């Protein structure tokens, strides 16, 4: 492996100034489950690795019914799903956080890092989008917030500018009659990259049937995770039914624009987008109705 400097930043300002001075020769390390592998395989050349795990704001993990979930960008998956209140409140997030990599990977890997790696197939991103997550970014000119669906710009690329890093994520508290679900398709049952991943959320009206809000996000079918507005439009304002779910699934498949690669074909991915949209909506509905 190449040699590089390792700096464990203690404060937000220290990290920002290091990143600003080194430009693209520096990169943030949280769990390191992507970065170290990229360095070892020579896929990325760096002078400096900036560890953000010592920065208190990047390690926050809190929830209350007013402010929702505040999730530090360096918090590893296992801390999140082992928190009984958070894991019970956000089963749609846990669907993804409990299947990233494997048990060992989840001991290190952070949700923030999964987002910053900006893979179109990242497991946590579609469900973050379905949950209306906001990304808190620290930089030379202070903090700014970006919606999760706006964060990724291309495979491996995102909105972070020189000197900026992802500090934390804010996930709204689930409204009444909310349900969310994430599913991915992989040929095996673990240790794999999503061929397609879909995160869906629903909010039902007091009749427990009319959809008042819906968010459907698609992974691995475009250069970035997509927010399928067209699919949500097929549901909102209507009583939920197999027909409206089928219409949403069809709309989601309609906006998928995947590639052929060793993990799947274009045709297969478009087909699976419809299948997983249907299945995640059924799962979200069941949760919204408190059935599971």
| CA–CA distances in Å: residue 46 to residues 23, 27, 29, 260, 271 | 10, 7, 12, 31, 40
By the 8 A CB rule, do 201 and 131 touch? yes
The reply on whether position 1 binds another protein by CB under 8 A is yes
Tell the smallest beta-carbon distance from residue 37 to another protein (Å). Answer: 10
Binders in 228-267 for another protein, by CB under 8 A: 261-265, 267
Given the complex with another protein, which of 243 and 260 has the nearer CB atom?
A: 260
Tell the smallest beta-carbon distance from residue 190 to another protein (Å). Answer: 5
Candidate list 268, 282, 286, 289; residue touching another protein; CB under 8 A:
268
Given the complex with another protein, which of 60 and 266 has the nearer CB atom?
A: 266
Tell the smallest beta-carbon distance from residue 188 to another protein (Å). Answer: 5
Given the complex with another protein, which of 10 and 45 has the nearer CB atom?
A: 45
Q: What does the DSSP assignment read for 37-77?
A: HHHHTTS---SEEEE-TT-GGGG-EEEETTTEEEEETT-BH
Binders in 38-57 for another protein, by CB under 8 A: 41-42
Chain Cα centroid distance, residue 175: 20
Assign 4 to helix, strand or coil. coil
Q: Which is it for strands 165-171 and 134-139: parallel, antiparallel or unpaired?
A: antiparallel
The reply on whether position 190 binds another protein by CB under 8 A is yes
Backbone angles phi, psi at 97, to 5 degrees: -65, -25
Given the complex with another protein, which of 212 and 282 has the nearer CB atom?
A: 282
If binding means CB under 8 A, how many residues of this protein chain bind another protein? 24
The reply on whether position 2 binds another protein by CB under 8 A is yes
Tokens of 165: 């890093």
| Nearest one of 200, 225, 203 to 215, comparing CA atoms | 200
Assign 182 to helix, strand or coil. strand
Tell the smallest beta-carbon distance from residue 120 to another protein (Å). Answer: 16
**Cα 232 from Cα 115, distance rounded (Å):** 23
The reply on whether position 287 binds another protein by CB under 8 A is no
**Cα 43 from Cα 171, distance rounded (Å):** 33
The reply on whether position 181 binds another protein by CB under 8 A is no
User: Which positions touch another protein (CB under 8 A)?
Assistant: 1-3, 41-42, 185, 187-193, 195, 261-265, 267-268, 271-272, 275
């Amino acid at each position: 492996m190449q040699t590089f400097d390792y700096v464990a930043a203690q404060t937000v300002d220290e990290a920002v100034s290091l990143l600003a001075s080194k430009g693209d020769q520096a990169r943030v390390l949280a769990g390191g489950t992507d970065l170290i592998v990229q360095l070892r395989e020579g896929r990325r050349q760096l002078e400096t690795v900036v560890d953000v795990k010592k920065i208190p704001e990047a390690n926050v993990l809190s929830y209350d019914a007013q402010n929702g979930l505040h999730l530090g960008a360096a918090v590893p998956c296992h801390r999140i799903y082992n928190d009984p209140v958070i894991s019970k409140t956000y089963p749609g997030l846990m669907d993804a956080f409990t299947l990233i990599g494997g048990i060992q990977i989840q001991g290190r890997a952070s949700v923030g890092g999964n987002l910053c790696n900006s893979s179109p197939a990242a497991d946590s991103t579609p469900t973050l989008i379905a949950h209306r997550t906001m990304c808190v970014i620290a930089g030379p000119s202070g903090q700014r917030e970006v919606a999760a669906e706006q964060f990724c710009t291309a495979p491996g690329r995102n909105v972070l500018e020189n000197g900026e890093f992802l500090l934390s994520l804010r996930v709204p508290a689930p409204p009444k009659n909310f349900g969310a679900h994430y599913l991915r398709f992989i040929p095996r049952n673990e240790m794999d990259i999503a061929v397609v991943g879909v995160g869906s959320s629903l909010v039902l009206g007091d009749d427990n049937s009319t959809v008042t809000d819906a968010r459907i996000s698609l992974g691995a079918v475009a250069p970035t995770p997509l927010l399928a507005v067209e699919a949500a439009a097929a549901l909102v304002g209507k009583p939920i039914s197999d027909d409206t779910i089928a219409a949403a699934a069809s709309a989601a498949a309609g906006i998928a624009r995947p590639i052929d690669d060793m993990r799947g074909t274009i045709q297969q991915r478009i087909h699976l987008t419809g299948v997983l949209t249907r299945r995640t909506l059924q799962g979200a509905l069941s949760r919204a109705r408190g059935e599971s």
